[in-house]
Amino acid sequence: MEETKEQRDNEREISGTHYDNYKALIVGLKEKDAGKTSFALALLAYLREEGINASGFKPRAGNSVWYDYDVVHEALTQGRLYGKDAKRLSSASASAYSSVSTTQIEEFINPIHRLWAEPSHINPSSQIPYFILDRVTLWYKDGVKNLVVENEALSADYNNVDFRNIRANASTIYQVRDLKTLNTITEKYYSYAVELAYKRMLAQHEYVVIESYSDIALPWNGLNDLDIVIGVKPGQMQVYEPKKYLAAVQLVTQTYSQEEIRTARIVELIKPLKEVIVPPFRSEQLLQALTEKIPLLF
């Protein structure tokens, strides 16, 4: 007979393992291809096998219009913007999202998504990042609003990409040409959008797997309560004590207040609690192999 959720909850209570609003942060120990999403998918698969109501959460993400055009075209056709990671995380997460439309789960898991141009660098004249547009989703109690922030200096270069549907679905469209305007919009809405989605996600799930972006140590400044921090890179997973990790982030932030803090600056200050070695696997074996490694981290 299949055990009920109450039975599983009782077993976890007896064993001393509690997952009510358990928050795991996954960070990359290298800038690109660290394996964050692969590990997040493995952790979600493991939690699903344990009968735990868990969801992935990638507050900020981005993809390139050149290298990811399949998923970009799919999303824009729907009047949306999301990437491969959000799509994979939504498939692996708990499906019972109360008050969240099934057509908006990617926006729930990923409230801020940036569509990059090529190359993804800073424009030397405007000082604006070389992006095409941002989609920012605000999860209010009385409804969802999508903001579109367009880099007006680049819009003419991508006339072959159809942005009509996402513009039509936007509550507000902001067009920016200078860094001051972009910073004003960012400060007003971006962290706020993340917090709105995150609070709703915590209310609906026992366990939230938070994936940072690139090799950034903290995906947003308001994240100050974690149960575990796991750093990943090819061949290795490292577990960090969350209070020490957050204290190190705060210390480094005071020194480099205008910069995004990279994990390299944090992990040189604290030692991992555990290290797990992961040999290379074929792509079709990777998810199962990583899932089998999860118990070694806890």
167 and 114 share a domain? yes
Which range is least confidently modeled, 6-20, 45-59, 67-81, 204-218? 6-20
169 and 267 share a domain? no
Domain assignment present for 102: yes
Instruction: Count CB atoms within 10 A of the CB of residue 136.
Output: 27
Q: Please name the amino acid found at residue 94.
A: A
The answer, yes or no, to whether the previous bond of 119 is cis (omega within 30 of 0) is yes
Q: Which residues have C-beta within 8 Å of that of residue 36, sequence separation ≥ 6?
A: 26, 27, 28, 211, 212, 232
Residue 112: predicted pLDDT: 97
Select from 183, 204, 225 the last residue of a domain. 204
Burial class (CB in 10 A: 0-12, 13-18, 19+), 90: buried
CATH classification at residue 22? 3.40.50
Tokens coding 209: 């797997």
Average pLDDT score, the chain: 87
Select from 204, 232, 255 the last residue of a domain. 204
Residue 9: predicted pLDDT: 46
Task: Tell me how many domains the chain contains.
Answer: 2
Residue 222: predicted pLDDT: 87
Q: Give the tens place of pLDDT for each residue, 87-136.
A: 999 988 876 555 566 668 999 999 999 999 887 777 777 778 889 999 99
Which residue range(s) make up the domain with 179?
Answer: 59-204
122 and 247 share a domain? no
Select from 204, 238, 272 the last residue of a domain. 204
170 and 147 share a domain? yes
Q: What percentage of the chain has pLDDT greater than the value 90?
A: 60
Confidence of residue 14 (pLDDT cuts 50, 70, 90): very low
Domain assignment present for 190: yes
157 neighbors 169 (Cβ within 8 angstroms): no
CA 298 to CA 160: how far, in whole Å? Answer: 49
Give CA torsion, residues 84, 199, 241, 38, to 10 deg.
Answer: -10
38 and 82 share a domain? no
101 and 194 share a domain? yes
63 and 186 share a domain? yes
212 and 244 share a domain? yes
CA 151 to CA 131: how far, in whole Å? Answer: 7
Residue 256: predicted pLDDT: 77
CA 41 to CA 193: how far, in whole Å? Answer: 24
pLDDT at 173 over 90: yes
Residue 10: predicted pLDDT: 43
87 and 220 share a domain? no
Confidence of residue 12 (pLDDT cuts 50, 70, 90): very low
Q: Give the tens place of pLDDT for each residue, 236-276.
A: 999 999 999 999 999 999 887 767 899 999 999 999 999 99
189 and 210 share a domain? no
Q: What is the mean pLDDT of residues 15-43?
A: 83
**Residue in 49, 48, 59, 50 with CA at minimum distance from that of residue 26:** 59
